[in-house]
Structure 1
Amino acid sequence: MRTTSSVIVGREDEIGLLSGALNAAGQRSGRAVFLIGEAGIGKSRLVGECAYQAYGFGLPVLRGRATSTGLVVPFRPLIEALSSRFRATGPPTDPELDPYRPALARLVPEWRGSVPPGYPETVIELAEALLRLLAVLGREQGCVLLLEDLHDTDTETVAVVEYLVDNVADLPVLLVGTLRPEPGPALDLVRATEQRQTATVSELRPLGPESVREMTAICLETHPDELPQVVHRRLTERAGGNPYLVEVLLADMLDSGALRKTDGRWGASDDLIAGVPTTIVRSWARRIDQLDDQVRDLLLTAATLGNQFSVAVLQLITGHDDRTLFSHLRSAVEANVIVPDGAAPDRYTFRHALTAEALIASLAPAERAAVARRAALAIEEGDPDPTDDRRQLVAALRLAAGDRAGAALQYAEAGRRTLAAGAFNSAVVLLERAHGLAADADRPAVSESLLVAQAESGELDRAFALAATLSPVRPGTETAERRIELHTRLAWAAVMAERGPEALLQVRTVQALLGAEPRPEQRAALAVVEGHLALLPGEGGREQLADAYRTARRAAEIAEDRGLPVVACQAWQLLALLSRERGFDEADACLERMLAVAESHALPVWRVEALLRLGANAFMRSGDATRLEAAREAAGALGAIVLTQTVDGMLAMNAIMRGRWDTARDIIGRSLEASARLRNLAAHRYLLLASATLAAHRGRRRDMERELARFRQVGGEESFLVPLQLGLCRGVGALLDEDADRARTELAAALAWEERHPSFFYLSGRYGLYPLLAVLAGDAGREEYEAAVAAPAAALAWNQQFLRLTEAVLLGREGDHEGAVRAVRAAGRTAETFPLAHHLGLRLVADAALLQGWGDPVAWLRTAEEFFYAAEIQPVAGACRASLRQAGVSVAQHRGGWDRIPAPLRTHGVTPREYEVFVLLADRPGNQQIAQRLCISPRTVEKHMASLLGKTGRSDRAALCALSAELAAELATGSG
């Protein structure tokens, strides 16, 4: 007789909730739903119903479950969920997933062999990659991700789930999670999402008496009215509305014969109440007592392994051969105690979590400990090099046997191996377990590993606090050697997080441990940290840079000599920054050396770091983004999402400076919010600044201020980016508002900041735009100009265009008008890459040229006016028109047909009506013919002809006709 209900009873509201969420996912309105309830309350039944409905709609279903064995297995439910889908269909091949495959390789085994190893992606990067994968899977009709028993899952999975919940709203994805109301990270997450209203939470209540009656009747295949009243009362009292307990107690009634069917009707014996076990534990004990002793022993051993267990591990413990083992397992399946785990063919699952717990609870404490001890010894003896999973299992068995110190050693080793694999959050969990269980003699070593794991997982405050509790050690001891490496690593983490005081404290701790004669490699590793520390705002100063350069170069040499490639890359990266003040050729040489070290020692992350910085230097030197694009491709191939977003910020800024505003907007759009989701603070700040700079360079001050407010909220005004914010963003924005005084104020503030702090952002105006404005205002002369030109940063294309214009103004002021014109032409050639800066420069020097009487300021103003009019930057366009009127020349009206006029004619002020006359001159017609063609009077044609001769500088009508024919030919060939 079946004792399980084939129909879900009493859950109409929950089924309606899931149905509505499925429909929403199919309409690209993602949802997250969590089902909370005690064991056996019906969570898995609802998940099964959701999967059934999704299959009916044709939606892809991915289903995974956390392990209940107490093992910390990073991402287990996610791996199982993806495997449940891709085992049959294979993983998707969509090109848009290419940048994310390296990260997803941790979850999709099929992709592990096709991606380069070496990039330790963060949990958030992995979460973003999974989000993109789900979006691809659900692109047609939506998809469903079902994650069960989240109360048992690892912290990495909880972090991924939180990320998915926060970002699933606009995607065709339904996320359903189940968990018990047990304190822990998963429940904390669910309560937080409920409070933020980013997820729907349904708490499953016990079934009411009528639902219990209906469910019992379904199990017994009878009508509810025919159910014996005593049976219904007993189940209602004992099961407490828990569907699983209803089924178990009902099965016990049937097994004991207290409930039987006679003549087609169900009846209960007189001893039903007395004979039914008073607890679920006794119920299960009675049921397995009816099995063979060997099957019973097998189940008790399996129960010590948790709700799910591996066949291989069970065989290792019991020593059974395959035939005997599977014979016993079949008996247990037939007894409805266990079932094969459909998601993992080599595993079995107890029919319910309460089943394993009840079997263990049926043993006396001493017997329970003995079973656990035998199991632990069997695994240790049979597997001398266990996997991390088995090591954790041995630890749990040791703990169940009362061996706390033995359990601590196993957890500690599993934690260290998990840390080395890059699963930092899981490593923290395991090492914290070890720390709490360890004997006094073992605890310091566990503490050292734990604080490294905390630092790597981003829990720097906890790591620093734990480091402060470490007992003092004497320099020169073996423990001191470990501590030196430990505190150096903490110092590096702190300096990379721009946490100067904490980094300095760790540096001083290392210095105290090094003693009078530190080994060169120890000193080298610390010197690199000290050099980076000197660059942090508020921690160092410009006077320290020379010392930092010398020590960094020595550190690079020592690191390469002593076989420390990571330290060498760190040192060359620092040297590349410091060398910029000596010249960008030297900086590039440092980066090429860094690249060579990374490639020769197979350090893919450091290789991408080197390519990124080489691309950044090329961008600053010439405006060319080719190397940056190559760096982004390399980062994408590695799956380095954080580095990819860093490159995107630079590519966006490059596109802004080159006037490719649509491209910049697209780049910012693809990475800005994603960088916030990934908590990639450095890239997010830069992208926000790029967004503000884009608004500034388009003359949209209100949008600029809005983006700068966001930049300020994430600490941008306490970062390295302050000079760029003041100069490249606010300073240029002020000039496009025609507010030169405010522009000089902003640029002066950038210079003042750079005087107080080390800065390696050379596009903020110090070496280009600021000298030009100062010379134009009469606040600076040739001496200041020569000082700016002498700096290596003067060779950068963005700065060079402004410095050449500065030279033009000085030469014009000194009477060298030909030299001034040559300087303007040279600036134009340099500025070809930067159209906005080029036209802004023309507008700035034109007034000085008009006043001093050199060059062709009218043509420059017309060119600039045309550009800024087309760019809809009205303040500058209006100022150009005003200067033209003051120069006594006509100002063209922007009427229909203006865009059809070739640039050489537009810059000379040719109007659309004049251009209509000019076009006809290619065939050399007379005035009367032109008048007839254009329906105007011959006198009007004569006026247009006179104006054209004056504006084009042609001496007579024949020359004007020749120019018309020449331009017509150029336009016909596409070269005009």
Structure 2
Amino acid sequence: MRTTSSITVGRAAELAMLGGALAAARQRAGGAVFLLGEAGIGKSRLAGECAYHAYGLGLPVLRGRGSSTGTVTPFRPLIEALSSRFRAAGPPTDPELAPYRPALARLVPEWRDAAPSAGAGAYPETVVELAEALLRLLAVLGRDQGCVLLLEDLHDTDAETVAVLEYLVDNLAGLPVLLLATLRAEPGPALELVRAAERRRAATVAELPPLPPAEVAALAAAILEEGTGELPAPLVEHLVERGDGCPYLVEELLSDLLDRGALRRAEDGRWLLADGSRPGVPSTIVRSWGHRIDQLDPQVRELLLTAATLGSRFSVTTVQLITGYDDRTLFSHLRSASEANVIVPDGSAPDRYAFRHALTADAVTAALAPAERAALARRAARAIVRADPELADERRQLVASLLLVSGDRAGAAVHFAEAGRRVLEAGAAGSAVVLLERAHELASDAERACVTERLLPALAESGQLDRAFELVRTLPPFPQSATAAPGPGEGPGPLPTPAVESRIELHTRLAWAAVMAERGPDAVAQVAAARALTAGRPRPEQDAALAVVEGHLALLPDHAPDRAADGVDVGDGDRDRDRAHEATAPTAPTAARLAEAERRARRAAEVAEHAGLPVVACQAWQLLALLAREQGFDAADACLERMLAVAEANALPVWRVEAMLRLGANAFMRTGDGTRLERAREAAAGLGAIVLTQTLDGLLAMNAVMRGEWHTARTIVDRCLDATARLHNLAAHRYLLLSSATLAAHLGRTREMERELARFRQAGGEESFLTPLRYGLCRAVGALLAEDRPGARAELAAGLAWEEAHPSVFYLAGRHGLHPLLEVVEGRWDRAALDRAAAVPAAELAWNRQFLRFADAVLLGREGRPAEAARAVAEAGPGAASFPLAHHLALRLAAEAALADGWGDPVAWLRTTEEYFHQLEVQPVAAACRTLLRRAGASVAQHRGGRDAVPAGLRTCGVTVREYEVLVLLADRPGNQELARKLSISPRTVEKHLASLLAKTGHPDRAALCALATDLHTGR
């Protein structure tokens, strides 16, 4: 008879909690729930009850499970979960998911054809980017009624899945998604994730305790279909004592009793134990399963033992490879095992079966003698290798696990290492680390160094740099003869061995990872190690890769290598290279060192292109573009154009977008036109490069602020800010926060600016390289709009002081434009000082150029050259189209000087400026302009435009044009923040207008004003 219960016994509190979580997800208050407990305690039953309830409510349920075979397959539970939903229905086609499809293609097979193919040209999306894409997909699936992502056996899942789940857990609030997962309380990354989420109250964790005796009895009654009748007391005592409150063990104990006939139903329908007393039973479930398996046909038994060796879930194809059965025989045996209630079809894939419970497979294999189990595992491993020598997919890991069971640790290490290499090539660094760590632990002393060299890049790519730099120090040194430089009069010496070449490449890769993480000392150490192994005779391509790293180090204020004194050039074989490179003491970047870095980077680019190393070539051209800015932006753009050409010719889409980004940024700085940046953003989004897309969004937001496109800037910030925080994309997050603060500053909203700068500070912005922009582009402009000229000069001075101590890549922070204008207006700079400022390449950038034109006009007027001064103002006129706020601010400063020195048309300029700032509601500047107009004896315009649009009745009440604009918008019942955005005014100003409207119209409250607005809209 069936020995499983059709109902859930007990767990009332847990079921109620799951019901509440489902209800919350339907109300867009998603969250995560983890069911924690030992094997067989009922986690899957509870999860199944929740899924059944969700199905009944019409919620999509996506189900996946961790691997139980010991293999590491990146994202396997997530792939299963999405496949369970999309296999029949197909993936959603919502346009809003288009930017995320390239990333999701890793999980959704139907989208893989549209994604870049694997290899050098593919975009290696980060786990966090993939997690954000999955979050967006789940939000779309649950948009109508909510959805459930159900993942079981997380203790058997991979590192990448754990990383994705960590992201989901922290970002489900406000989304219609319930994440429900089960796992055992076994030490590992999954349990660490759950405990951490529990500590920060980001998830609900339900630890399932054993069933109490009363519920054990109720479970047994349900299994035996006893209803409310009583079971024999000895039977209940036996189940309580031996079952430990575990539903699975209770089921197995009952099954054993029934199989042996020790438990039977009497003629009157009651259940009886043999002889009326508690019978002797197997001491363990293992013996119970051993007895049950022994009753089966020998071939079926052999098949089950083989399958159990593979894990609690197994592939029919793999079992067939091992056993050699034809299809008819194989499926006949599988059917017999299924009828015996030992295995069941696994719904995750058509060709998979699973043992009825995870403990079942363990019990079956535990019944074998150790020698028999080892022989079975060894035979299985050989059969798989014989049938599939390439060991595709998960089979190599399976063979490694089987060899480990058979006692062949060295063989297992070889296969784990190769599996780790393949997984790393596929871009799953976290899973590669797991596999290579296993190989490292199992490898013999002779092979451990080789495994370490494979493990180190995986650690670096997964962000575990501390572990990588600790482990690299354990590598054994090479014999001195393998790396020693020839002495005076000696020949060139032996060429480095392949092992030495591999080690050089390893140190170079680690050096690049370190310099990209801004870990200067570690980068210097790795460069030194690589140089030492070359013994002063690096091959040109080795020297090229190292030169790029050293060039980046040259930009850092500390720990920069001094290559000029080394006499080593990229590819110059006739130079003296007797000395290995050594790091110098911390020093600030010097012009000589930067010039040497540029020379070597240019040679590195040439060597890399000739040697067929396109990534190194792109790295070199990117570095050259950065260094060339000091010479002029034409030179920088030429480097970037070459970088773009190399990326396109070699199908490197990420480097292509990087080049487009930098070209777009340069184009905007030079002309004020953001078209190329927008194209770069489209390319990044089409590639699925979410982090790059967010970087471009930040640039576009700041550009919109500078162009006075307030609504566009606010829209970008509001759309992207939370997403960058979720992705922990600090660079883009800080830039968006600074853009938001600068937006407030440029609208004269000081309090809002300070609030946004506080958020910027909390995100670590004051320790970032954005500091000059905070001083010059944000706070200094804000001070000028408050008519606080000393404050503006102080902010600019602080920014200049910071730049003196740090290399800066920001050229619009004031040093080259706004600062010179203020110094000239204040009379602190003469012609020579301005000429020096105008002589640098940054002076030709559009934002800076307009300020310098006005500064030149002020000096010309002061020098008694009025016609030339007026012409200089006219030449600055086109800036009004690109940067209207900056143009009018400069015009206000120049008009004051023109009024004092008697040149130009200051009255017309002041009227233009006053009108602009009045419309912008920046009253301090507008008031200053009116004061200057009165001082000049000119009339001051009264701002009554649009009065005719105000209905007569409201005009009689004294309602102003601006108040009427607020009133009209109330028809849609927006909040104050939305009103402020639509009218480009502050929320506080909205409150003042609303209060005035209530007072003037006599209406009692806001609702009455909304009704009035509706009447006006409908013409009543």
Q: Same fold (TM over 0.5)?
A: yes
Distance in 2, matches of 1:536 and 1:644, equals 26
Superposition pairs of residues 699-848 of structure 1, within 5 angstroms: 699-848=748-897
The answer to whether the 8 A contact 2:217-2:236 is kept is yes
Distance in 2, matches of 1:542 and 1:743, equals 30
Where does residue 979 of structure 2 map in the other structure? none
The answer to whether the 8 A contact 2:273-2:279 is kept is no
Query: Any idea what the Cα deviations from partners look like across 1:193-238, whole Å, max 9, x if unmatched?
Result: 1111111111111112221222211111123423222222211111
Where does residue 660 of structure 1 map in the other structure? 709
- Judged with a 3 Å threshold, the aligned counterparts in structure 2 of structure 1 residues 384 and 258 are, in CA distance, closer, same or farther, namely same
Distance in 2, matches of 1:333 and 1:383, equals 28
Where does residue 169 of structure 2 map in the other structure? 165
Pairing 1:292–2:297 present: yes
Aligned to 1:828, the other structure's residue is in SS state coil
Query: Any idea what the Cα deviations from partners look like across 1:113-142, whole Å, max 9, x if unmatched?
Result: 012231001111100000000000001111
Distance in 2, matches of 1:299 and 1:121, equals 41
Match of 2:500 among 477, 480, 484: 480
AA of the residue aligned to 2:223? C
Where does residue 314 of structure 1 map in the other structure? 319
Aligned to 1:175, the other structure's residue is in SS state strand
Distance in 2, matches of 1:444 and 1:20, equals 53
Shift of 1:537: 4.5
Distance in 1, matches of 2:809 and 2:600, equals 19
Shift of 1:630: 0.6
Where does residue 259 of structure 1 map in the other structure? 263
Shift of 1:399: 0.9
Pairing 1:325–2:374 present: no
Where does residue 589 of structure 2 map in the other structure? 541
Distance in 2, matches of 1:547 and 1:154, equals 46
Distance in 1, matches of 2:425 and 2:227, equals 61
Distance in 2, matches of 1:57 and 1:223, equals 29
AA of the residue aligned to 2:649? S
- Judged with a 3 Å threshold, the aligned counterparts in structure 2 of structure 1 residues 272 and 590 are, in CA distance, closer, same or farther, namely farther
Aligned to 1:442, the other structure's residue is in SS state helix
Shift of 1:820: 1.2
Aligned to 2:876, the other structure's residue is in SS state helix
Distance in 1, matches of 2:854 and 2:73, equals 63
Distance in 2, matches of 1:711 and 1:542, equals 31
AA of the residue aligned to 1:479? A
Q: Which is further off, 48-57 or 789-798?
A: 789-798
Where does residue 514 of structure 1 map in the other structure? 534
Shift of 1:884: 2.4
Aligned to 1:64, the other structure's residue is in SS state strand
Shift of 1:266: 2.0
Point out where structure 1 has 5 or more consecutive residues left out of the alignment.
Answer: 902-910, 913-976
The answer to whether the 8 A contact 1:541-1:756 is kept is no
Aligned to 2:3, the other structure's residue is in SS state coil
Match of 1:343 among 343, 348, 354: 348
Where does residue 695 of structure 1 map in the other structure? 744
Pairing 1:150–2:154 present: yes
Q: Which is further off, 719-728 or 47-56?
A: 719-728
Match of 2:441 among 416, 426, 436: 436
Where does residue 931 of structure 2 map in the other structure? 882
Where does residue 33 of structure 1 map in the other structure? 33
Pairing 1:386–2:370 present: no
Where does residue 175 of structure 1 map in the other structure? 179
Distance in 2, matches of 1:369 and 1:39, equals 25
AA of the residue aligned to 2:317? A
Distance in 2, matches of 1:720 and 1:502, equals 21
The answer to whether the 8 A contact 1:165-1:198 is kept is yes
The answer to whether the 8 A contact 1:804-1:823 is kept is yes
Query: Any idea what the Cα deviations from partners look like across 1:523-551, whole Å, max 9, x if unmatched?
Result: 11111111112223445514222111111
Distance in 2, matches of 1:496 and 1:274, equals 70
Pairing 1:445–2:494 present: no
AA of the residue aligned to 2:874? R
Where does residue 954 of structure 1 map in the other structure? none
Match of 1:497 among 506, 517, 521: 517
Query: Any idea what the Cα deviations from partners look like across 1:565-602, whole Å, max 9, x if unmatched?
Result: 00001111111111222222221111111111111111
Aligned to 2:353, the other structure's residue is in SS state strand
Match of 2:617 among 554, 565, 568: 568
Distance in 1, matches of 2:872 and 2:258, equals 102
The answer to whether the 8 A contact 1:809-1:849 is kept is yes
Pairing 1:610–2:610 present: no
Where does residue 285 of structure 2 map in the other structure? 280
Shift of 1:888: 2.9
Where does residue 358 of structure 1 map in the other structure? 363
The answer to whether the 8 A contact 1:542-1:756 is kept is no
The answer to whether the 8 A contact 1:151-1:187 is kept is yes
AA of the residue aligned to 2:517? A
Distance in 2, matches of 1:272 and 1:128, equals 61
Distance in 2, matches of 1:369 and 1:863, equals 90
Aligned to 1:176, the other structure's residue is in SS state strand
The answer to whether the 8 A contact 1:542-1:757 is kept is no
Distance in 1, matches of 2:721 and 2:277, equals 67
AA of the residue aligned to 1:516? G
Shift of 1:96: 0.5
Where does residue 591 of structure 1 map in the other structure? 640
Match of 2:237 among 225, 233, 237: 233
AA of the residue aligned to 2:123? Y
AA of the residue aligned to 2:231? L
Distance in 2, matches of 1:283 and 1:585, equals 81
Shift of 1:894: 4.1
Where does residue 857 of structure 1 map in the other structure? 906
Query: Any idea what the Cα deviations from partners look like across 1:845-904, whole Å, max 9, x if unmatched?
Result: 111111011122222222222222222222222222222233233334445747989xxx
Query: Any idea what the Cα deviations from partners look like across 1:96-124, whole Å, max 9, x if unmatched?
Result: 10110010011001000012231001111
Shift of 1:816: 1.4
The answer to whether the 8 A contact 1:412-1:431 is kept is yes
Distance in 2, matches of 1:510 and 1:779, equals 52
Distance in 2, matches of 1:579 and 1:861, equals 40
The answer to whether the 8 A contact 1:31-1:175 is kept is yes
Q: Which is further off, 470-479 or 593-602?
A: 470-479
Point out where structure 2 has 5 or more consecutive residues left out of the alignment.
Answer: 484-495, 561-587, 951-959, 962-1020
Shift of 1:411: 0.6
Distance in 2, matches of 1:497 and 1:814, equals 52
Distance in 2, matches of 1:165 and 1:408, equals 35
Distance in 2, matches of 1:403 and 1:692, equals 63
Where does residue 943 of structure 1 map in the other structure? none
Q: Which is further off, 879-888 or 117-126?
A: 879-888
Match of 2:249 among 245, 248, 268: 245
AA of the residue aligned to 2:170? D
Distance in 1, matches of 2:551 and 2:624, equals 9
AA of the residue aligned to 1:42? G
The answer to whether the 8 A contact 1:798-1:831 is kept is no
Q: Which is further off, 504-513 or 398-407?
A: 504-513
Distance in 1, matches of 2:600 and 2:756, equals 39
Shift of 1:678: 1.7
Match of 1:677 among 708, 715, 726: 726
The answer to whether the 8 A contact 1:36-1:202 is kept is yes
TM-score by length of 2: 0.87
Shift of 1:500: 1.6
AA of the residue aligned to 1:530? E
Aligned to 1:225, the other structure's residue is in SS state coil
